[in-house]
Structure 1
């Protein structure tokens, strides 16, 4: 009866008697922090104080025996391992030749060590490409087999066209990736052309990644595919994963590098292909959509929580979504991206005493990623008159210098800097005039000194920005900056929550500025230079409303029989033909954009209905020479009466805007692009 429970009781009593009633805090300080008597966060692979004092390489947390006791579960596992020999000895003394075997919980030299090595390697990779140190609580060292990944959650929430199922779009086995890509990817020559087109026409609008790294990924992927083809030709299709040159090892870091390379290259090709399309139903657009679906099969390796890799992947998804708003909800993706920025601390530069010693490439990466996300957030929020994801008051980060890539010209750097500054200024205007916190009692006629002071201050800031800008030499860059300046003026002169009724002079400025903005956007569309579709549609729609509103209000003021003609004079542009031209420009832009965005057709029809009703009322009033109060005219569309509080919450298909930074294509460029489109269509 040696193995009965009664005879084994002594084993468990002996083991239990050595278990302490109190468990020490597992996250103890490292040697450096204990000696200096400073607070240690226990973060791996090196704590924050050691990193700040350049002691990361000697931080005792890096050692395996300390790193294993940084959470309660690991502490208990190690405690069990230390007690197992004693339990076995007691069992042997009781049972004689039949010891009670207690299987080991984990293999200390394999499972735990591999998990810690993977975690340390991931942290090293993130630091290498310019990330902040990642808090130990931001992700788990061991990946859970249960529950969806961040990529699955993000894509399930952001997909607009059809219900998302994680097993369909992501989690492609990397061992099968070469076979899949060999049949799905275009040729290397076509891929290089697409990437070159992206770098020439899309990248200047949002330069948030390293160009040299992208080219290296292309070479690695096609080098792997070439070897796969050679192996298949010699072994009758047999393929050994270990034979591919792109496999660095079996750890998580190797899967991340490889999967991220697939995702980046494929989605860049998808974005470039989409930029060549003029219609959502074209063959080129369908090819772009197929490449996008292929990229999503590797999203799990790229869309990682609280990492620079994950943020870069989110920005790629946003960039695709703003060009194809029917496929992805960019509003949601921007929120995720900004949250990652805040979690990583990218919205604030390190303290000055650490900034001087910080790696310049790391600082440049931080700033580029943040300002790209900020630009998307402000463009989306301001165009829809909705609150932004993050307040400007908590942002303390300098602008990137954009001089990492040798391809960046002085003109490019000037354009990037001026654009980010004007976006900041537009955000300031919006916060002062349109947010609930800024709302004041300035709702009456323009005799309020406070309102005049606010407008004068904002106009002064805009004037200073314009005067301090270096002259841009390229006509397209000048026109892009002019469109941003006009958009800022429209924000200032529009009726808003702080100032509902505008003066005669303000209405004249609003009228002329809106007409100029609509003409510029029409020229963008005629040259196929609109890159961001849905917000561009929302911007031009709102501009159309301001054109109708300003004309109606000015006509109401000028038709007042009690008006002193010596006080105001009718602007020369206030004519019916000018109104018709402005409405025509807005309608043309909306109709053109709806070709790339089917849901945009409803926005175009909505504007046409508003314009038809408003112009009908105007013609009737002018024919009868009847004076009507501009704010209380019966039958005037509600969008104009309530323009001061107009906002349009984006639906699942309403996303980002922008204008592609193209130059006027020469004949040779046009031919080259047509050849590239034909090459894509032919496969």
Structure 2
């Protein structure tokens, strides 16, 4: 046997599925060992070894199928690795288009160039071609510290706890290139309807996006390659975030079915995976994205601090001069821009800045945190008021400016009463004069509401909006009259005013609930909780101060029952509200026991027919009864004053949700 023959016979070739032609014709089929390229019989006979053509085709088909499967697995692996690289280095978004072996240094480190804030909204006429962008100065490479903060936020995937029960696996839907084909998204007609409803009903706080912009975004993501094209990253983030916020807002006024929950979770998942693109640079898109994330934080329990998100957004906005007047801001816009486009661009950046400002001041009053943007550096004008009116008969922008004027007062209240710079040794008369001046401002704001003009019709929409203004007004009144750094020991007149506003605020929320109009979010929960503990504080002061009228025990317990009932209504969709319920029960239990014991007149039916009776967690506590009214007064006084000596017993800690279970138990 030759070396060639030995090589053929000693190798480890594959086996054929049937005998070769020679063995088959010689009736030696069972003796053919089916070796390839030649069986042993053919090697020994020194002849060609052939198989039938039919067998060759079958073998080729099997081999082709195996090869295709292996190729598919390799391609999926490549896609996964490229996605992993892009998530860590957003400037390599075009890596899949490069030839193998091409140097990566040739990729300009500008991140993806999504079509963001396009011509229709005219923040930037086009980011498709960055070389011809009319505003190159607005696309800074982020400063190192800000870039690291944005990158950390982007790569974290925005760790916020899901507000809905279902979970969406984004990777399992990567086969869909358009939202129109993905069954986990609503139909485009429904998506457009929801987006218009969201911006129409709730846009007073979310003017960072415009209706025509979202409509174009949705048409893009529901079009060809809408879910995959890097150019549509910003459109996906904006449109899916707006849809998710709409579902969050509906959650408080109606029961969502499982399909809606699935839609909501899918929109959230697809929006959050675009963070690496929308936060890639220090530009208008990043400010817009961070402002929308702040709105998400308001409606989602847990997750990043809204105050931290506002800080990042504010720093970026200031770097871009969004807070400056027109002549200063427009001077930084280089390149030629059509006059009409320039006007729309400028209005867009004003809307974006004031949306950010509005959220910042809301956080200032609610969390008693320093503002991210100081009023002293702001000289940008309000957005222009259009001629057209809204569906409730008043200009949308007029209502928004009215809302912004309220937010400005929020900042003044904080800076005058609660900021660290407030002098604590100021004479009482001076402090009360400051409060009186701020009261005049908030009363002027309230009386100048566009809803009070003669042509404003009376409707369900105007009534709902007026209730919102009423709640905001009384929140400011309470902030002005409760103990603060400016006035730590408030007068009895302040207590009377404080109790009046707390009573009205609780009643307004009861009215809101009766109409199914309370939006379940962080702001309403904190405002309601603040109203309830303020009411408890006033009750203790009425008991301890001889110049204040006594309040019957039945009234105290009836009010506490109403507060407890309102707080419990947040429970089904906002689990964190249980923490606030526990804190409220722990705070009022000693007061209830002391009042009932001191008056020797226990109430057997504390709540009227329209109110929920107080539960066993309040009336049947484990308290020994040793807590006095004086002790309760001190605790609530310190709780509301937010002094340095009370540690976790402060409204800041309560409202920020930083109480742990041990703190609540030991309260």
**Is this contact kept in 2: 1:217–1:261, CA < 8 A?**
yes
Q: What does residue 425 of structure 1 align with? A: 409
Q: What does residue 242 of structure 2 align with? A: 268
| CA distance in 2 between partners of 1:635 and 1:150 (Å) | 45
- CA shift at 1:288, angstroms? 1.5
SS in 1 for 2:545: helix
Q: Against the structure 1 CA distance between its residues 123 and 537, is the aligned structure 2 distance closer, same or farther, given a 3 Å change threshold? A: closer
Matches within 5 A, 1:497-536: 497-531=485-519, 533-536=521-524
Which segments of 5 or more consecutive residues in structure 1 lack a partner in the other structure? 1-102, 142-146, 163-167, 225-243, 248-253, 559-567, 625-629, 655-683
SS in 2 for 1:178: coil
| CA distance in 2 between partners of 1:274 and 1:431 (Å) | 32
- CA shift at 1:606, angstroms? 0.9
- CA shift at 1:115, angstroms? 7.6
Matches within 5 A, 1:312-331: 312-326=288-302, 329-331=305-307
| CA distance in 2 between partners of 1:132 and 1:425 (Å) | 37
Q: How many aligned residue pairs are there?
A: 492
Matched, 1:399 2:382: yes
Q: Against the structure 1 CA distance between its residues 156 and 614, is the aligned structure 2 distance closer, same or farther, given a 3 Å change threshold? A: farther
Which segments of 5 or more consecutive residues in structure 2 lack a partner in the other structure? 1-100, 128-132, 163-167, 334-338, 457-461, 602-626, 643-649, 659-667
CA RMSD of aligned residues (A): 4.3
Q: Against the structure 1 CA distance between its residues 532 and 434, is the aligned structure 2 distance closer, same or farther, given a 3 Å change threshold? A: farther
Matches within 5 A, 1:63-462: 111=106, 127-128=124-125, 133=135, 135=137, 138-139=140-141, 150=150, 153-154=153-154, 156=156, 158-161=158-161, 177-178=177-178, 182-224=182-224, 257-278=231-252, 283=258, 284-285=260-261, 287-326=263-302, 329-351=305-327, 359-401=342-384, 403=386, 410-442=394-426, 448-462=428-442
SS in 2 for 1:218: helix
TM-score, normalised by the number of residues in structure 1: 0.63
| CA distance in 2 between partners of 1:602 and 1:106 (Å) | 52
| CA distance in 1 between partners of 2:384 and 2:451 (Å) | 18
| CA distance in 2 between partners of 1:353 and 1:190 (Å) | 38
Q: What does residue 665 of structure 1 align with? A: none
Q: What does residue 570 of structure 1 align with? A: 549
| CA distance in 2 between partners of 1:390 and 1:441 (Å) | 27
| CA distance in 2 between partners of 1:516 and 1:470 (Å) | 22
- CA shift at 1:478, angstroms? 1.5
Q: What does residue 19 of structure 1 align with? A: none
- CA shift at 1:267, angstroms? 2.1
Larger Rg: 2
Q: Against the structure 1 CA distance between its residues 405 and 306, is the aligned structure 2 distance closer, same or farther, given a 3 Å change threshold? A: farther
Matched, 1:580 2:577: no
Matched, 1:634 2:631: yes
- CA shift at 1:343, angstroms? 2.0
- CA shift at 1:425, angstroms? 0.7
Of residues 554, 565, 574, the one that matches 2:542 is 554
Q: Against the structure 1 CA distance between its residues 256 and 309, is the aligned structure 2 distance closer, same or farther, given a 3 Å change threshold? A: farther
Of residues 594, 605, 608, the one that matches 2:571 is 594
Cα deviation digits, residues 231-250 of structure 1 (max 9, x gap): xxxxxxxxxxxxx6x79xxx
**Is this contact kept in 2: 1:218–1:265, CA < 8 A?**
yes
**Is this contact kept in 2: 1:381–1:388, CA < 8 A?**
yes
SS in 2 for 1:185: coil
| CA distance in 1 between partners of 2:655 and 2:542 (Å) | 34
- CA shift at 1:192, angstroms? 2.5
SS in 1 for 2:543: helix
SS in 2 for 1:602: helix
- CA shift at 1:105, angstroms? 9.1
- CA shift at 1:515, angstroms? 0.5
- CA shift at 1:512, angstroms? 0.7
**Is this contact kept in 2: 1:348–1:395, CA < 8 A?**
yes
SS in 2 for 1:348: coil
- CA shift at 1:424, angstroms? 0.8
SS in 2 for 1:182: coil
- CA shift at 1:189, angstroms? 2.7
**Is this contact kept in 2: 1:631–1:641, CA < 8 A?**
no
